[in-house]
Amino acid sequence: MLTVKLPQYTIGENILMELGSIATKYGKRVLIVGGKQALAITKATIEKSLKEKGISMIDCLWYGGECSYKNIEIICEQIKANDVDLIIGVGGGKALDTAKASAAKMEIPVITVPTIASTCAATTSLSIIYTDQGDYETIYLYEETPPAHIFISIDILAEAPIKYLWAGIGDTISKYYEVDIASRGARLSHSEAMGKKLSVLCAEPLISYGAKALEDNQQAIVSFELQEVVLNIIITTGIVSMLVGENYVSACAHGLFYGLTILEEIEKYHLHGEVVAYGVLVLLMLDEQHKEVEGLMSFYRKVELPTSLKDMNIENNKEILDGVLDKAVSTEDHQKMPYEVSKDMFYQAIQKVEILNK
Ligand SMILES: [Zn+2]
């Protein structure tokens, strides 16, 4: 038996006061869990909108700074102690992941209210778990209980710092190319095939509207372009990930990202989506899609995503890259490639991308 559960979503401008009318379908005793900054901007309006619908806001908690088992447990204790029947998660990826994981554990619904558009965390039925110190630990999957509803008040995202949308664009573009390559030649199930078709929207609209969306974000303007880009980062990518499943959800652009994280420069000063965007160029070069690499590069130049090692302050040095590629080829993402990619092939692809920068 197969059941595919997908969340509903709402998007609009200045709609936070409508959250109560959505929440009332799912519960009457609400716990809000979010990031500090996100709660500071939204708490008063959310509380008012819940009150209007006769919903009690039991408490409003900071998620704890990391989506760790300890922080999830603290929230679960609150849910138990106060008979909470709905969680509203507010903020970025880690805050939403913490709220979703707590809701999944306690088997109650969760509404996500993303306040930045850097990932698809608001949509997916998984949480990336970190240690309390912030090191990656594992992925917690709960396919049976995806978020009930994603609530996007686009004005909040228009006012968010531009770096999140910028990195979100890079990470989202990878979804199309990685799914396309990882699933090549495979006999796909119905939902995998739906996900693959849908993944086209992770790239095309972002390349068409990305530059304008970033400009509008810079000026805090809500526009058609910003809205399309935000929806594809948050909604499309999340649904694609859930439909294509583990086998095809990533490939060696993400593998290269994890390899590059061994360098302090990357770990400290560069965002996930930014580095993954560069990885897509290398992936396409490996796959000998030269025209696609050049097309994507001209988009990257327009929006200042990295097209070379130098753009990320990495030296093009064989020894340094050797360590990076050791890690890259050992990742699960790398194993999803439909053909063998050796370290040397990877290295050569990086060099070919470098040459295109000259
Ligand atoms: Zn990613």
**Of the options 1.20.1090.10, 3.40.50.10380, 3.30.465.10, 3.30.70.141, the CATH number for the domain spanning 162-356:** 1.20.1090.10
CA–centroid distance, residue 77 to ligand 1 (Å): 31
pLDDT > 70 in the chain, percent: 100
φ, ψ for residue 309 (rounded to 5)? -60, -40
CA–centroid distance, residue 145 to ligand 1 (Å): 22
Helix axes 237-248, 162-182, angle to 10 degrees: 40
CA–centroid distance, residue 204 to ligand 1 (Å): 18
358 vs 307: CA distance, rounded Å: 11
- Give 250's pLDDT tier (boundaries 50, 70, 90): very high
- Give 80's pLDDT tier (boundaries 50, 70, 90): very high
- Give 285's pLDDT tier (boundaries 50, 70, 90): very high
Q: Is 94 annotated as a binding residue?
A: yes
**Residue 304 region by backbone torsions, left for phi larger than 0, else alpha for psi between -120 and 50, else beta:** left
Burial class (CB in 10 A: 0-12, 13-18, 19+), 18: middle
Q: How much is the average pLDDT of 45-53?
A: 98
101-110, 130-139, 314-323: the lowest-pLDDT one = 130-139
CA–centroid distance, residue 171 to ligand 1 (Å): 5
8-158 and 162-356: same fold?
Answer: no
pLDDT at 291: 97
Helix axes 272-286, 290-303, angle to 10 degrees: 160
242 vs 238: CA distance, rounded Å: 6
Residue range 297-308, pLDDT digits in tens: 999 999 999 999
pLDDT at 38: 98
CA–centroid distance, residue 170 to ligand 1 (Å): 9
Q: Is 3 annotated as a binding residue?
A: no
Q: Is 83 annotated as a binding residue?
A: no
CA–centroid distance, residue 268 to ligand 1 (Å): 17
Q: Is 118 annotated as a binding residue?
A: yes
Closest CA to 177 of 285, 69, 59: 285
Q: Is 266:314 a contact under the CB 8 Å cutoff?
A: yes
Domain range summary for the chain, segments of one domain joined by +: 8-158, 162-356
Which CATH fold would you assign to the domain 8-158?
A: Rossmann fold (3.40.50)
φ, ψ for residue 338 (rounded to 5)? -80, -5
Average pLDDT of the chain, as a whole number: 96
Residue range 86-134, pLDDT digits in tens: 999 999 999 999 999 999 999 999 999 999 999 999 999 999 999 999 8
Residue range 158-206, pLDDT digits in tens: 999 999 999 999 999 999 999 999 999 999 999 999 999 999 999 999 9
